Chain A
Amino acid sequence: MPDPATTQYFGLPGYVVLWILTLVAFYLFGIKVAYYVRTLGKARPEKRWDRIGERVGLVLTHVLGQRRLFNEPGIGIAHFLIFWAFVFYATSFFWNLVKGLVPILPIPYADDVGWMAFALEAFGVLALVGIVVAAVRRYILTPPRLERTYDATLILGLIALLLVTFLVGAAAKTRGAPGVYLWMWWAHMVTVLGFLAYLPYSKHMHLLAAPFGVFFSSLRPGAPPPASEGASRFEEFTWRELFSGLACAECGRCDRACPAFNSGFALSPKELVHKVKELVRAPGAGGKFLGEVVRPEEVWACTTCLSCMERCPVLNEHIPLVLEMRRHLVSQGEVETPLQQAMMNLNRYGNSFGQSPRARAKWTADLPFKIKDARKEPVEYLWVVGDYASYDPRVQTVTKATARVFQQAGLDFGILYEGEQNSGNDVRRTGEEGLFDVLRGKNLQAVAKARFEHVVTTDPHTYHALKNEYANGDGGWTGRNVLHSSELLERLLAEGKLSAHRRLDGVVTFHDPCYLGRYNGVYSPPRLVLNALGTKLREMPRNRRTAYCCGAGGGRIWMEDPPGVKERPAESRVREAAGLHGVNTLVVACPKDLVMFQDALKTTGLEGSLAVKDLIELVEEAAAPSERSDSHARA
């Protein structure tokens, strides 16, 4: 076959033509990429160079392994094939480009190397199949939140073209058709160079940016952004927050997972990231970013449930964007009245209910035993009760059950009585960082002289804050083992300190609380407890990582639902539970879930057919003390 680089075209040698085309393409590519780098350089700094090993791991899993793409298997496989074809084709392209630009190099073209040619042909064919799947999905079986844009069509077309030109060229080579081969070689190179030049201007910028996005992603997803007074315009965001806009492939997985979006609230996480992309493309254009481009109601709609970030294939970070903008709104005092009231109550009374701190442990009055005051005597377990468990009359029943179960298990535990304050987890998610600091400070001061070994709480929100955000700076409550009650119960059952004398044989389903599951990866302990009690667990379609938020998180519980809500998250969730065959109990492990789902049962009219119970209530039912004394007698 003739060497395309040394063949003469209109009196010019091929390599000269290639040089001209390459310079043009790289120039176009380079100025845009340089623009992005320069622009992001003006954003706030954020340290994302630590723990390189883990970051490389992320790249292996999420870029090379394409892990999250497989959450939607059909398109996941298609994308996987296209991606790997891309890897080989990119390699081949640069290889051939070098050889073409400098024909005297003593190397063959990539497709002249046997194994490479095989991989290119094999992935080329598979990727073409992938393209067909992608096209069918985009144009015929379009899922919600996927758009049929001109840009997407162009990119799909270019990929198809570069594959076809290569495959036809390869065929021409084996069949001995040098004219066709030369045409195809050039068509392929021009397509790829065009693709390269167009890339940074298109939505397929993600192809370039995503690997970097993954490498620089947060190692603690959902963690609040570094200290700031919030962000309302370009320079106030960190570069990584803005980078999400470039890495986004607009696949819409976040929207499909988002409880706020699916309830008809103002927020679309995909739109939000898209707006960030527009901001990076042209900072300052399109009016005030927060206020005009992004409306405050979008920012307030987020429940910080982490579904979007959990689902995002390129590990984009939506929640830090929301939190930055909330911080800004709070700093301007732009806080709706009910939320403002909650903040004032937290500041003044240490609880969002606006009740006396002295009433915090009022629920203990009905107990047949006295709970130790952990401020006055040493305990093994410090139980941080939390606001809802302490003050909401509907949750107090569960709180008392918790105390009885702990007592029955012979646990050495105590509470802080009026010394405890709200942990600040949710108020931090509303953007009121200063108030979180105050609450954390007061709680740490309350336990300064207390002696305890472990911390336990029934509230996943409290759990998350204590476990991850209670050190000075970042990290958990120094030197303490923080447990969620489900983890402790699992341990107590395993150690035989609690036992299910009366096995429960009902069929139940379990709702994973966001701050227990997605935020902290605690999925098994509550399930092991249910198993130990003898119940049969039937999972909801959306479970574990894909569990659907109740709608109360991120301070939403203090805010009003906007008008025109389609279906509240909690309503969607109880319908999902009620739809399971044979299930009559929705088991929860979060005080807010109990309140939210009980309300949702009423508004959906499902009160007769489904009951909402806390895990601890089931434990108490199964391990009732009278039975226990019997078994002791037997033993």
Chain B
Amino acid sequence: MNILVLLRMIPDVVEELEISNDGKTLDREFLRLIPNETDDHALEEALLLKERHGGKVTVVAPDAPELDDVLFACLAKGADRAVKISGVEPVMGGRAAARLMAQVLTTAPGLLPADLILTGVQSTEDLDGLMAPILSHLLQLPYVDNVTQVTADGPGKTVTAVKEFPSAVRAEFDVQLPAVLGIQAAEKPPRYVPVAKVRAVMKSQHLESAAAPAGVEAGQLEILQMAKPEPAEHAEMLAGDPAQVAGKICEILAARGVL
């Protein structure tokens, strides 16, 4: 099975995010970029599929700071190829990312056809739409989202995707291949790859590069402003040291009859 995993680097919210002077974009100077968490799960699911059914896993990602290390880690985990889309400005939002990915997949040699295209179900910056459904439309492929498991026991023309519904209910869907799946979580947490293995891969393998197509169209949304949310619009804040706060909570609970 030939699987493409699309990976995006997104701002790490462990760091304080700052808005740049125009008030409409993130200040990229202090950003730490990390792989989109659900993309990491998409890679894990792809690797699990490869382990079960054989095939090849190729990771494709738009260039970003620290991306090389991330891609080498993907190779160390078991991906066969890692392709960096070079010459791209940082893009925000699923629409631009999807168009970029679609163009690269169709123009760069050796990527399509693929049986499965896996990517994270969403990223925290998909302001103008999710990447996977847009990509599925652009490539005219079937699409399922919130996927937590993929099995390929059939004759090879379809896979079974398990999608999450509310109330911890899940559902199985038969999906014709090739298809785009938005992965919510892999069957098990993404594997750990030791530093030494990544270093070894850096010496023995290389990253491929695909040129970004010129003129990726901008989104159709106009961002008026970006801001940090106002703190505590709703909650009544309780102040004091932990013991004092605990006392206040106890009073509230007692007043409400919870205690």
Contact = CB atoms under 8 A, between A and B. Distances in A.
A–B contact with Cβ pairs below 8 Å: the answer is: yes
Interface of A: 229, 330-331, 333, 335, 337, 340, 343-344, 347-349, 354-356, 358, 432-435, 437-438
Contacts of B197: 331, 434
Given A340-B189, A348-B34, A331 B194 contact: yes
B196 interface: yes
Contact of A356 (B16, B195, B198, B199): B16
By secondary structure, the A interface counts as: helix
A434 B14 contact: no
Contacts of B34: 348
Contacts of A343: 192
Contacts of A331: 194, 196-197
B24 interface: no
A356 B15 contact: yes
Nearest to B190: A340
B194 A355 contact: no
Nearest to A341: B189
B14 A438 contact: no
A355 B189 CA distance: 20
B192 A333 contact: yes
A366 to B, nearest CB: 12
B196 A438 contact: no
Nearest to B34: A348
Given A340-B189, A356-B15, 11 more contacts: A331-B194, A333-B191, A337-B189, A340-B192, A348-B12, A356-B14, A358-B15, A432-B194, A432-B195, A434-B197, A437-B195
Nearest to B193: A333
Contacts, number: 42
A337 B190 CA distance: 9
Nearest to B196: A434
A349 B195 contact: no
Interface range, B side: 10 to 19
Interface in B9-29: 12, 14-16
Given A330-B194, A333-B191, A335-B192, A434 B199 contact: yes
Nearest to B199: A434
B99 to A, nearest CB: 30
Contact of B14 (A335, A355, A433, A437): A355
A438 B191 contact: no
Interface in B183-240: 189, 191-199
A227 to B, nearest CB: 10
A576 to B, nearest CB: 28
A176 B249 CA distance: 97
B44 to A, nearest CB: 11
Contacts of B12: 348
Contacts of A435: 194-195
22 contacts: A229-B196, A331-B194, A331-B197, A333-B77, A333-B191, A333-B193, A333-B194, A340-B192, A348-B12, A355-B14, A356-B14, A358-B15, A358-B16, A432-B195, A434-B195, A434-B196, A434-B197, A434-B198, A434-B199, A435-B194, A435-B195, A437-B195
A337 B16 CA distance: 26
A356 B198 CA distance: 23
B70 to A, nearest CB: 10
A343 to B, nearest CB: 6
